[in-house]
């Protein structure tokens, strides 16, 4: 009997302890928080209820009590998901705005540069050549119009454009310089056929064509790159959090209050990192291609600041064309005699018209000092614009793998990242799980393990980045770019011309620095510009892409920035022509069949 009082005391103490634990969960303490979230007092439990009613927070306090009803948990989960979606959109929108604004500034600058050059050209040639220019002004104005169309739409063949321009100019000048003759269409056709061997403008057309092609291709590629990147950031805002992500967000941000925890208790930093990496796994899929894109933009920017500087070409284009005209005038008699020898002596026109007088051999007469000042000002604006834009793009390197940390640092976690005073998913204490690796694969993530298959939105953005990156690389090499399907905002994979340089004609020039080690140039290039068939670039000359897991440290990334990447084969698939298919597959079969027939006859 002496042991009975002791046993009774133990039972009494345990009963009191249990009562104390249950009484310790006071829902009154978290009621103000729920009211601030828009819940009426009637919806908030006055007393703690069983955690079994909850799907997410119930597992956190298994066998315990909570201050949330099942309906409250569902509504709080929706709010947590919406808050995360809004925060992600705002972060993407900020970078989108930066790139979009830079792209608009660059676009406006170039359009104004071209318009001013066109106006200056017209005024100077009108002043210098008078009526003769005004009668043929459309030839020159059409050149500017087509250059603008190339920049805007990319549908103009620059080589054909320059060939047609100088061919037309050649015919117009030949008629003016030989005004005593009458030329019919057949004679003008013969005249055009002899232009290449005549070389009436010496090497000015060749040099100017190369400069225009390089500068306009690089300029358009740079402008398009900013537009594509801004569109990628805009389109990625359409992604919705997955169900697993929503549950993890609820466990991280809602369950502390449902567990009756009051005060400004935030999630542990490592827990937040895992939740965000799992929620943003689809976004991280863009990281590799985005970094390749950043590198390509950086290199093209160097070209625009150096040998492909569009301002150095567009501003003095009037001088270059005037130089070609003067060269023709100096050799006009020799050229005419050679044409007459090849095409025959034309018919005299009778009385010579006054308007068909010879061009006066003179250089353009205008204020050189004023032009020099204007060019210096314009060049400074372009230099600043390209450099600032390039830096903004550089700053976005590793944007997608750093995005989870960016969101966590914007008020979701308590600094320092992992202490005994933060919410670890079940209670206030240190977070015990390791931080998951960067990237799309989150199979070992303790918070959000399932990210599902890549959505079509993500696939389309990766294709868009791959395509524009390959075009940037082609533009960097001074080659033409196929802009087919550029205006296709859906990026549905129907485009072509994504950096396949095997059918291009690489143009090299020592003074342009094409022999520097950039990572994009093939191992060997033709030593000079020729009209020979385009050389086939050795595919082994393009180094393979080495995928390295991105690191959080931007310093480490910069140290590895000298690496290069090859073109993604998936974006470079081109349709095989019918003739090539027949040659490749049908001819061998025919030869084998024919050989078999011969064997039987023999």
Residue 155: CB atoms within 10 A of its CB come to 12
Residues present in the chain in total: 602
Q: Are 542 and 498 in contact (CB under 8 A)?
A: no
User: Residue 400 contacts by C-beta under 8 Å, 6 or more apart in sequence?
Assistant: 280, 283, 284, 285, 286, 287, 290
CA distance 496 to 573: 8
Angle between helices 70-135 and 317-330 (to 10 degrees): 30
pLDDT value at position 361? 42
pLDDT value at position 552? 37
Angle between helices 204-235 and 137-153 (to 10 degrees): 30
Task: Please write the tens of the pLDDT for every residue from 318-333.
Answer: 889 999 999 999 988 9
pLDDT value at position 394? 96
CA distance 268 to 431: 6
pLDDT value at position 483? 86
Q: Are 364 and 244 in contact (CB under 8 A)?
A: no
Which three-class secondary structure state does DSSP give residue 184? coil
Q: Give the CA-trace dihedral at 253, 255, 256, 259, to 10 degrees.
A: 170
User: Residue 340 contacts by C-beta under 8 Å, 6 or more apart in sequence?
Assistant: 346
Q: Are 523 and 504 in contact (CB under 8 A)?
A: no
Sign of CA dihedral 252, 255, 257, 262: negative
Residue 50 phi/psi, 5° resolution? -65, 135
CA distance 306 to 381: 15
Beta partners for residue 181, in sequence order: 348
State both tokens at 281: 């796994």
User: Residue 182 contacts by C-beta under 8 Å, 6 or more apart in sequence?
Assistant: 346, 347, 348, 349
What would you report as the CA-atom Rg of the chain, rounded to the nearest whole angstrom? 36
pLDDT value at position 129? 86
State both tokens at 448: 């959000």
CA distance 198 to 577: 37
CA distance 266 to 412: 7
Long-range contacts of 181-187 (CB under 8 A, 24+ apart): 181/346, 181/347, 181/348, 181/349, 182/346, 182/347, 182/348, 182/349, 183/346, 187/343, 187/344, 187/346
pLDDT value at position 407? 92
Q: What's the per-residue H, E or C state across 329-398?
A: HHCHHHHHHHHHHHHCCCEECCCCCHHHCCCCCCCCCCCHHHHHHHHHHHHHHHHHHHHHHHHHHHHCCC
Which three-class secondary structure state does DSSP give residue 182? strand
Strands (E), 37-164: 49-50, 65-66
Task: Please write the tens of the pLDDT for every residue from 58-100.
Answer: 776 555 788 888 999 999 999 999 999 999 999 999 999 999 9
Residue 444: CB atoms within 10 A of its CB come to 11
In this prediction, the residues of the chain whose per-residue pLDDT falls under 50 are 1-23, 353-370, 488-602
Q: Are 475 and 151 in contact (CB under 8 A)?
A: no
The candidate with the shortest Cα–Cα distance to 394, out of 496, 328, 295, 254, is: 295
CA distance 552 to 402: 7
Residue 42: CB atoms within 10 A of its CB come to 6
Q: Are 68 and 57 in contact (CB under 8 A)?
A: yes
DSSP structural state of residue 413: B
pLDDT value at position 61? 56
Q: Are 273 and 340 in contact (CB under 8 A)?
A: no
The candidate with the shortest Cα–Cα distance to 273, out of 470, 408, 78, 425, is: 408
Residue 237: CB atoms within 10 A of its CB come to 15
pLDDT value at position 472? 96
Residue 320: CB atoms within 10 A of its CB come to 15
CA distance 114 to 514: 27
Q: Are 180 and 299 in contact (CB under 8 A)?
A: no
Q: Within 13 Å of residue 40, how many CA atoms lie on the same side as its CB? A: 2
CA distance 338 to 190: 12
pLDDT value at position 207? 93
pLDDT value at position 421? 82
CA distance 299 to 247: 43
Beta partners for residue 49, in sequence order: 66
* Region at 222 (left for phi over 0; alpha for psi -120 to 50; beta for the rest): alpha
């Amino acid at each position: 009997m002496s042991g009975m009082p002791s046993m009774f005391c133990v039972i009494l103490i345990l009963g009191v302890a249990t009562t104390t634990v249950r009484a310790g969960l006071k829902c009154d303490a978290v009621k103000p928080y729920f009211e601030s979230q828009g819940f009426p007092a009637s919806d908030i439990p006055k007393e703690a209820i069983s955690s079994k009613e909850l799907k997410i927070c119930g597992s956190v306090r298994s066998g315990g009590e909570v201050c949330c009803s099942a309906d409250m948990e569902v509504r709080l989960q929706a709010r947590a998901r919406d808050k995360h979606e809004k925060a992600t959109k705002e972060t993407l929108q900020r970078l989108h705005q930066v790139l979009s604004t830079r792209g608009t500034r660059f676009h406006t600058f170039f359009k104004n540069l071209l318009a001013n050059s066109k106006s200056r050209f017209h005024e100077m040639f009108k002043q210098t050549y008078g009526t003769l220019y005004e009668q043929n002004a459309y030839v020159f104005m059409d050149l500017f119009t087509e250059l603008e169309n190339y920049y805007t739409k990319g549908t103009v063949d620059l080589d054909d454009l320059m060939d047609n321009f100088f061919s037309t100019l050649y015919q117009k000048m030949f008629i003016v310089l030989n005004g005593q003759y009458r030329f019919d269409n057949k004679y003008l056709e013969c005249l055009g056929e002899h232009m290449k061997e005549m070389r009436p403008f010496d090497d000015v057309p060749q040099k100017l064509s190369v400069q225009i092609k390089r500068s306009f291709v690089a300029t358009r590629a740079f402008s398009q790159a900013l537009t594509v990147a801004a569109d990628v950031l805009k389109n990625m805002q359409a992604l919705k959090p997955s169900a697993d992500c929503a549950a993890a967000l609820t466990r991280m941000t809602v369950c502390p209050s449902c567990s009756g925890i009051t005060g400004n208790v935030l999630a542990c930093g490592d827990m937040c990192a895992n939740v965000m990496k799992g929620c943003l796994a689809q976004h991280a899929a863009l990281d590799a291609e985005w970094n390749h894109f950043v590198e390509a933009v950086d290199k093209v920017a160097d070209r625009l600041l150096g040998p492909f500087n569009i301002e150095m070409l567009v501003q003095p284009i009037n001088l270059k064309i005037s130089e070609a005209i003067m060269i023709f005038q100096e050799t006009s008699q020799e050229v005419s005699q050679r044409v007459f020898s090849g095409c025959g002596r034309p018919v005299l026109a009778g009385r010579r018209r006054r308007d068909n007088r010879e061009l006066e051999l003179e250089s353009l007469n205008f204020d050189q000092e004023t032009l020099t000042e204007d060019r210096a000002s314009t060049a400074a604006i372009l230099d600043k614009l390209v450099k600032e834009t390039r830096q903004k793009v550089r700053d976005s390197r590793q944007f997608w793998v750093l995005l989870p940390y960016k969101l966590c640092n914007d008020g979701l976690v308590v600094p320092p990242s992992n202490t005994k005073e933060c919410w670890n998913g079940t209670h206030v204490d240190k977070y015990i799980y390791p931080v998951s690796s960067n990237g799309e694969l989150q199979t070992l993530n303790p918070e959000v393990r399932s990210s599902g298959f890549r959505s079509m939105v993500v696939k389309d953005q990766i294709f868009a980045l791959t395509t524009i990156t390959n075009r940037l690389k082609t533009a960097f090499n001074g080659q033409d770019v196929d802009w087919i399907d550029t205006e296709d905002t859906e990026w549905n994979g129907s485009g072509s011309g994504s950096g396949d340089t095997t059918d291009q004609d690489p143009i090299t020039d020592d003074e342009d620095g094409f022999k520097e080690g950039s990572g994009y140039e093939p191992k060997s290039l033709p030593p000079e510009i020729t009209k020979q068939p385009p050389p086939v670039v050795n595919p082994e000359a393009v180094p393979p892409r080495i995928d390295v897991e991105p690191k959080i440290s931007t310093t480490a990334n910069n140290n590895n920035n000298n690496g290069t990447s090859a073109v993604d084969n998936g974006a470079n698939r081109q349709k095989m022509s019918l003739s090539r298919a027949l040659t490749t597959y049908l001819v061998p079969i025919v030869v084998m069949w024919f050989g078999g027939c011969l064997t039987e006859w023999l």
